[in-house]
Amino acid sequence: MSKQKQIGMLLLLASFALVAISCSVASNKEPFFGKTVPPERNIFRYVTGDEPESLDPAISNGQPEARIYMALYDGLVEYHPKTMEPEPALAERWKPNNDSSEFKFYLRRNGRWSNGDPITANDFVYSFRRALTKETASRNAYLAYYIKYAQPFNEQKVFVRDPQTGQFLNAKDFDETTPAEPLAGSPLDSTANAEYSEPDVHLEGRPESEFHKQMHTPLRLTLPGDAKGRTKALDANPKLKAAVAGKEFVPIKAEDIGVEAIDDYTLRISLVQPGPFFVGLLAHQVFRIVPRKVVEKYGSAWTQPQHIVTCGPFKVKTWQPYDKLVVERDPMYWDAATVKLDEIHFYPMSDNPTIMNLYKVGEVDAVLNHTVPNAWLEVVRVKQDYMDGSEAAINYVLINTTQPPMNDVRVRKAFNYSIDKEAWAKWRKIVKPLTAFTPSGIFKDYPQPQGDQFNPEEGRRLLGEAGFPVIKKPDGSYSCPKFPVDQVEYIYNTQESNKAMAEWMQAQWKQNLGITVNLRNMEWRTFLNVRAKLEYKGFSRGAWGADYMDPFTFLSLFYTGGENGTGWVDPKYVAMLDEANRMLDPKKRYELLAKAEKFLIDAQPMIPIDTAATNWVKKPYVKGMYPNAGSLFPWKYVYIERDPAKWDYGVPDMTAD
């Protein structure tokens, strides 16, 4: 009977659905991706990535949060919208001392909190100390470790004092590797300004503060605060143990950190080493200020919308977690006249296709970086609203160097030689091939070293030298029968682009070395755990974006042993970096950093793959937003342009100031 009809009907339905879907494939002819109707009011709707962990700028280290903090909080300096160089914010101007180990910041007088209170240097002192307090548990505290005694304070260490004389023990007497002490080396004059290139008019003749004098005494010895850790440290150094006997331990206090309010509008920061890049670091979220009164009154609930007080161009209007954060223009902001948007709506979302769909239908005006899925690039990259800029970020492959066969540098090099990075970059479309460990073309005047180019012949030779001869089979393919394939794998966290990279690497090694490396994908947190504990064999996906605009943010990944996920550590490398950072001349410093980088890529604890490029979209009517290298945007410059003639057609001009 009519069972056949039922089946027929099913087939009909299925084919109808197929046709409907095939017809609706995105058309390639329009200049922009999806709708381009500006919102009615001056409201900017932005997808910033994952749900913010907190609205407290000291807490989170994520980029999604960083962009929200840039709307809500101000710091001494702010990122330039195009170059990301520091530009004046709450500090009108600043002055380094002769060796860039101490900075004076002159604050503007009209800085105000969103509740109308004035912003003074004391707010900075409080916020820096708070961020470094252990109980705050700031993920970013390490970025402030350049400040004198910030690290030992954050680690709850102690000074050692002689109870008789009241003298503190100095670090350089016990440890040769202590970095040179710039501050201690330049004895203080009676005037505060002698070591600064130009004198301070309004501070002239003022007596030097006790605190500042103390900052210029030799670096004190610090020891672990807990008895167990201390015993361990002392046992390792008999000379130290003898010297410490009979001395008292003084816990390091927040007041010992090298941050001082000279007066209400002058702030001085003393570093533990020369930091020519330090001002650039100050735009980072951890250096943005929080309102003392509110924080002390409400504790961790101070970020709730009913309590929060902010100091940025925008203030919180409403916050529905996981749905949206609405910020509105703050009339109290010192530069409120520049702010053009009435509101910004931040949408926390993390699934890329979902975000792109929202963008396409015009429900959001711009999206975060790396949102356009690889396959979509075919269609989206040719559109005029695609933001293609160079990015201070790299993709690389980590190698677990602690286990054979990867503990042999020849094997590591062989795997590096046999990856055709040019071909990868061509296929990936939005990256540039990379042979070194810093992103190419980001740091001006940095003499980036060159690593090994694609050379499978050399790779096969090295592998043979290491005891794993590669045999050419009659059909032209290779095989490496002696290589212990079960001792290597490639791990990555589940994501479309990571999978593409993993499969590419696998295919390259199979083709050029005849070695099939097993792939293993993991859920994000498991992956991080496995990688950090070196529980993987062979290779692991890695990526890093700059914390600040200096090559050191990349090179420092291998500065401390054990935490870089490769197990590779070399005191020589650390010494080279230290030496570079002691250089006062920026050019010389760059040369030494480049030398260290060359050393790193020769040791090959990782395989550099590519320099990333920005990969996001914004509607053409969004102006004042640029694809800068860190994808961080000072929101006060962003506005909605209603006249199509003035829209951005293509990437906006990044060179004009």
Partner 1 sequence: MTPDPDLIHASPETAITEGEYVRGTSLWRDAWRRLLKNKLAVFGLVVVTLITLSSLIGPTVIKRATGYTPDYIPTSDTRLIRSFPPFTGPDGQFSWTHPMGTDNAGRDQLARVLQGGQISLFVGIISTLVSLLIGVSYGAIAGYVGGRVDNIMMRVVDVLYSLPYVIVVIVLLSMFRSQTARGQLILLFIALGSVSWLTMARIVRGQVLSLKNQEFVMAAKATGVSTPRIIFRHLVPNTLGPVIVYATLTVPQIMLTEAFLSFLGFGVQAPLASWGSLASDGIQNIAIFPWQLIFPGVTMALTLFSLNFLGDGLRDALDPQMRTT
Partner 2 sequence: MLRFILRRLLVTIPTILVVITITWGLIKLAPGNFYSGEKRLPPAIEKAIRDKYGLDRPWYEQYGKMLWSIVRHGDFGTSLKYEGQSVNGIIRRSLPVSAAVGILAYLLALIVGITAGSIAALKQNSRWDYGSMTLAMLGISLPNFVLGPILVLIFSLSLYWLPPSRWGGFPSRNLILPVITLSAIYMAYIARLARAGMLEVLRSDYIRTARAKGLSEKDVVIKHALRGGLMPVISYTGPALAFLLTGTVVVERIFALPGLGNYFIQASLNRDEPLLIGIVAFIAITLLLMNLLVDIAYAYLDPRVRY
Binding site for partner 2 (CB under 8 A): 1-2, 5-6, 9-10, 13, 17, 20-21, 23-24, 26, 35, 51, 53-54, 56, 59-62, 134-139, 141-142, 151, 154-155, 300-304, 320-323, 347, 349, 351, 353-354, 357-358, 360-361, 363, 523-530, 532, 542-544, 557, 560, 563-565
Residue 519 touches which of partner 2, partner 1, none (Cβ within 5-8 Å per kind): partner 1
Decide: is 6 part of the binding site for partner 1 (CB under 8 A).
Answer: yes
Decide: is 485 part of the binding site for partner 1 (CB under 8 A).
Answer: no
Residues 174-233 that bind partner 1 (CB under 8 A): none
Residue 93 touches which of partner 2, partner 1, none (Cβ within 5-8 Å per kind): none
Residue 328 touches which of partner 1, partner 2, none (Cβ within 5-8 Å per kind): none
Shortest Å distance, C-beta 473 to partner 1:
16
Q: How far is 409 from 386, CA to CA, in rounded Å?
A: 41
Shortest Å distance, C-beta 18 to partner 1:
6
Q: Which of 486, 571, 643, 657 binds partner 1 (CB under 8 A)?
A: 486
Taking 3-state DSSP, the helix, strand and coil percentages for the chain, each rounded to the nearest 5, stand at 35, 20, 45
Nearer Cβ to partner 1 (250/423): 423
The structure tokens listed for 149 are 């005694």
Nearer Cβ to partner 2 (27/165): 27
- Of 276-284, 337-345, 373-381, 389-397: span binding partner 1 (CB under 8 A): 373-381
- Of 247-255, 285-293, 466-474, 499-507: span binding partner 1 (CB under 8 A): 499-507
Decide: is 526 part of the binding site for partner 1 (CB under 8 A).
Answer: yes
Contact indicator for 111, 335 with CB cutoff of 8 Å? no
Decide: is 500 part of the binding site for partner 1 (CB under 8 A).
Answer: yes
Nearer Cβ to partner 2 (62/96): 62
- The beta-carbon contacts of 208-216 under 8 Å, at least 24 apart in sequence, are 209/260, 209/262, 211/260, 212/188, 212/260, 212/268, 212/270, 213/188, 215/102, 215/148, 215/183, 215/258, 215/260, 215/270, 216/183, 216/184, 216/186, 216/187, 216/188
**Between the CA atoms of 491, 493, 496 and 499, what dihedral angle is there, to the nearest 10 degrees?**
0
Decide: is 657 part of the binding site for partner 1 (CB under 8 A).
Answer: no
Q: Which of 237, 477, 494, 560 binds partner 1 (CB under 8 A)?
A: 494
Q: Which of 194, 233, 519, 569 binds partner 1 (CB under 8 A)?
A: 519
Residue 251 touches which of partner 2, partner 1, none (Cβ within 5-8 Å per kind): none
Residue 528 touches which of partner 2, partner 1, none (Cβ within 5-8 Å per kind): partner 2
Residue 378 touches which of partner 1, partner 2, none (Cβ within 5-8 Å per kind): partner 1
Neighbours of 260 (CB within 10 A): 20
Q: Residue-wise over 291-304: b if at least 16 C-beta within 10 A, else e?
A: bbebbeeeeeebbe
- The beta-carbon contacts of 121-124 under 8 Å, at least 24 apart in sequence, are 121/261, 121/262, 121/263, 121/264, 121/265, 121/266, 121/267, 122/261, 122/264, 123/289, 123/291, 123/292, 124/76, 124/259, 124/261, 124/267, 124/289
- In angstroms, the Cα distances linking 388 to 362, 527, 549, 629, 633 are 20, 30, 19, 10, 15
Edge-to-edge strand ranges of the sheet holding 324-329: 314-320, 324-329, 343-348, 43-49, 366-367
Q: How far is 136 from 526, CA to CA, in rounded Å?
A: 26
Q: How far is 383 from 29, CA to CA, in rounded Å?
A: 9
Decide: is 534 part of the binding site for partner 1 (CB under 8 A).
Answer: no
Residue 122 touches which of partner 2, partner 1, none (Cβ within 5-8 Å per kind): none
The structure tokens listed for 273 are 């080493």
Shortest Å distance, C-beta 366 to partner 1:
18
Nearer Cβ to partner 2 (336/361): 361
Q: How far is 104 from 532, CA to CA, in rounded Å?
A: 39
Draw the binding track, 399-428, toward partner 1 (x: CB under 8 A; -: no contact). ---------------------x--x--xx-
- In angstroms, the Cα distances linking 35 to 38, 324, 340, 356, 651 are 9, 22, 23, 12, 18
Find tokens 């004076």 and name the residue.
104
Shortest Å distance, C-beta 60 to partner 1:
23
Contact indicator for 126, 257 with CB cutoff of 8 Å? no
Nearer Cβ to partner 2 (51/208): 51
The structure tokens listed for 656 are 């004009």
* Residues forming beta bridges with residue 544, ordered by sequence position: 394
Q: Residue-wise over 377-395: b if at least 16 C-beta within 10 A, else e?
A: beebeebbbbbbbbbbbbb
Residue 301 touches which of partner 2, partner 1, none (Cβ within 5-8 Å per kind): partner 2
Residue 201 touches which of partner 1, partner 2, none (Cβ within 5-8 Å per kind): none
* Residues forming beta bridges with residue 261, ordered by sequence position: 267
Shortest Å distance, C-beta 290 to partner 2:
13
Shortest Å distance, C-beta 310 to partner 2:
15
Draw the binding track, 7-36, toward partner 1 (x: CB under 8 A; -: no contact). x--x---x---x--xx-xxx----------
Contact indicator for 359, 617 with CB cutoff of 8 Å? yes
Residue 376 touches which of partner 1, partner 2, none (Cβ within 5-8 Å per kind): partner 1
The structure tokens listed for 106 are 């002159």
Decide: is 523 part of the binding site for partner 1 (CB under 8 A).
Answer: yes
As a residue count, the chain comes to 657
Residues 6+ apart with CB under 8 A from 592: 576, 579, 580, 583
Decide: is 249 part of the binding site for partner 1 (CB under 8 A).
Answer: no
Shortest Å distance, C-beta 374 to partner 1:
6
Neighbours of 351 (CB within 10 A): 9
Instruction: Write out the residues near partner 1 by the rule CB under 8 A.
Output: 3-4, 6-7, 10, 14, 18, 21-22, 24-26, 352-353, 356-357, 360, 373-376, 378-379, 420, 423, 426-427, 429, 486, 489, 493-496, 499-500, 502-504, 506-508, 511, 518-521, 523, 526, 537
